Amino acid sequence: MHFSTRRRPSIASLVLSVSLAGALSALAGCGGHGGAGAGAVMPAPGAPPGARSLMSVSSAYTTAIMVDTPSVYFRLDETSGTTVYDFTQHGHTGTINGTKTFGVAGALTSDSDTAMGFNGTSTNIQGTVTTLGSEYSLEAWIKSSSSAEQHFIDIEPQQFMLSGGQLIFGTAGDYLSSPKYTYADGRYHHVVATYDGATKKIYVDSALVVSKADASSALTATTLHVGHFYGGGYLFSGSLDEVAVYYHALTATQVTAHYNAAKSGAPTPAPSSTAVPNHVMTADYVATNGGTTKAASTLAPWLNWASTSWQENPDVKAAGIKAMFYTDPNRQQPGDPMYTSDETTFAHTCGGSRIKSTYITSQYLMSPASSSMRTQWKNYVAEESDGATWDAIFEDDTNDVLYTTATPCDYSAPSWLSSSQGQDSSLSPTPIIYNGLQIDDQMALNSSSNVLGGMYEGCYSDSTTYPKIWDDPYWLNMENTELAMAKAGKLFICLGRDTTSASSAVDARLYVYASFLLTWAQTSSILWESYGTSSAFNVLPEVKLVAMNPLVAAPTDVSSLKTSGGVYAREYANCYIYGTAVGACATVVNPDRYNSHSYPYGTKYKHTLTLSGSSVIDGGTVTATGAAPPTTLSALKGVVVFL
């Protein structure tokens, strides 16, 4: 099997020669696959965060709440300090005033999470909330034996209170009151007040108890008052738990789901419909292009995809590894398997001259519109499939005219893309994985029904000079491409190109893996790294960490995962190392090339991911018991943290 050793420029050269405005297009020139083209935020430093209980995640209840996207969510399970942690990614922490009691019995029977005691004379919490407008919900678990007027959630002018055992929601002259006066009975009650722009409602213990039309209950204030009247006084006496505020009116179904999750849910396991894999999906070269020559049976526990040769195909397939065959119908040079003297296969200038690569001077740009080139490609794939079964054909330099001596005659990006789509479809039904996700509009290639996915070269690491890719625009584009490919149901192969010895690149590896996990999807994200190992096998032990059940669903844009402190973060309810549960975890990345930013989770998480050694078959190790997370993440820093 033929693999050339030609390579394209790294980000290092692009940074020197390309303006920021053209950076995304220029990034298409980095790398080569075997050749040519181959949150919630704690306060700012100085404000001591409160310690939190170990049951602050991993419950059916928290999952039910987070699915419905609260603006603020206080679990009230702190064990010390004056700061209340916001369980969402919005950074609306609260400040505790007065005398409080930590660690009182919580409302949930589904986990042992604790609540906070309020003394009725001084205890209260003040926080912030984004303007809610004309649709919102207020939710809490309350327990009190006092008949006094006592407010538990206020956002001026709206009040949610208990008075004489009766629940009251609204503002002076426009209150909505429950028909019963029995809720100051010393037992926990799940209470929810909603407003949808037209109707106010109160739910108690999953049941709608009262509602009325109201056209004047919009909220513009941004201060959240928990445990007291917004104007002062009327403090709550008893226990409060699981306080949440929403930008929208919860439905009856959602309210019931929250109540049921609290009463009957168990700590959230991995989804029953999805088995927890021993590692994230991986790819590597096997017995070709400098890849490992270890037996496929040795690699099989760790490897999902192998780029391999016709000769090795039977062993790779027998071991249960998916086999991929490298081709490049878009660049050919004399001696390459699809090179012919047929002029119609080449791209030409308007003067009729062939166009060459500026990096491999003997290599020519081919025409994706050429029927002869398509036939050459199809015949070559058929030849290499005789006696071999391929799960995908890898297509290098797809839809790529960069780094060539001239522009093809009458070139336009849309027409070249259309020809590339046609070329891919011409190989149907043979599955294709294309290269070049760093090229603008490359995901349009997904429209061909036989396309399984694409590769992004220089993914989160580009070279020994640039072992960590920075935010604008490179890192952001990588994260958003990972998200978009998952949404499209296509494979996303993340090819890192740092060839530093794996054992010497632990910090960079942590940055890359934290970035990869931030937007990963179990069925689409594939990690392929290039760090140096003694076995030439590039699957490293960090891939054993599998993060499941994200508390924030996959967004459309990674900007939704940016915390107010400037880092990007995402929490997962259930995490595993090679199939063994290690509890909840979170991935945190500071892709800022120049500046440090605050770590967002305070003392919630106690340990960090640690790596040592080299590949999984060379004795490399991973643990979830490393040192405490830092209070600040330095520039280009990534961490994965555990309870």
Segments of the chain scoring below 70 in pLDDT: 1-59, 89, 110, 264-274
State if pTM tops 0.85.
Answer: no
Res 55: pLDDT: 36
Domain count, the chain: 2
| Pair (15, 86) in one structural domain | no
Q: What is the SS3 string spanning 165-229?
A: CEEEEEECCEEEECCCCCCCCCCCEEEEEEECCCEEEEEECCEEEEEEECCCCCECCCEEEECCC
25 shares its domain with 154: no
- Main-chain phi, psi angles of 574, to 5 degrees: -135, 125
Q: Is the dihedral of CA 369, 375, 377, 378 positive or negative?
A: positive
Examine the domain organization and report whether 519 and 583 are in the same domain: yes
Asked if 286 and 312 touch (Cβ cutoff 8 Å), the reply is yes
Nearest to 331 by CA among 342, 308, 344, 347: 347
Residue 391 falls within a domain, yes or no?
Answer: no
Per the domain annotation, does 611 fall within a domain? yes
Residue 545 identity? L
Report yes or no on 272 lying in a domain: no
What is the model's pLDDT at position 309?
96
State percent of the chain over pLDDT 90.
74
**Considering all CA atoms of the chain, what is the largest pairwise distance in Å, rounded to the nearest integer?**
94
Task: Give the model's pLDDT for residue 457.
Answer: 95
Per-residue model confidence (pLDDT) at position 269: 42
Q: Is residue 481 part of a domain?
A: yes
Do residues 249 and 284 share a domain? no
Q: Residue 133 belongs to what domain range? A: 60-264
Pair 547, 610 in one domain: yes
Q: What is the CATH number of the domain that holds 95?
A: 2.60.120.200
Burial of 82 (0-12, 13-18, 19+ CB in 10 A): middle
Model pLDDT, residue 3:
37
Q: How far apart are CA 635 and CA 78, in angstroms?
A: 30
Residue 529 and residue 27: Cα distance in Å, rounded? 18
Angle at 633 between CA 627 and CA 638, to 5 degrees: 75
Does one domain contain both 167 and 293? no
What six digits make up the tokens of 163? 């008075």
* Last residue of one domain, picked from the residues 243, 264, 285: 264
Taking only the tens place, the pLDDT of each residue in 210-254 is 999 987 777 889 999 999 999 999 999 999 999 999 989 999 989
Question: Is the bond preceding 429 in cis, omega lying within 30 degrees of 0?
Answer: yes
Answer yes or no: is 402 within a domain.
no
Each residue of 256-272: pLDDT tens digit?
989 988 876 544 444 43
Q: Are residues 68 and 7 in the same domain?
A: no
Which pLDDT value is given to residue 528? 98
- What per-residue confidence (pLDDT) applies to 89? 64
Q: Do 169 and 24 share a structural domain?
A: no
Say whether both 71 and 155 belong to one domain: yes
Residue 174 lies in a domain: yes
Does residue 14 sit in the same domain as residue 101? Answer: no
Give pLDDT, residue 56: 41
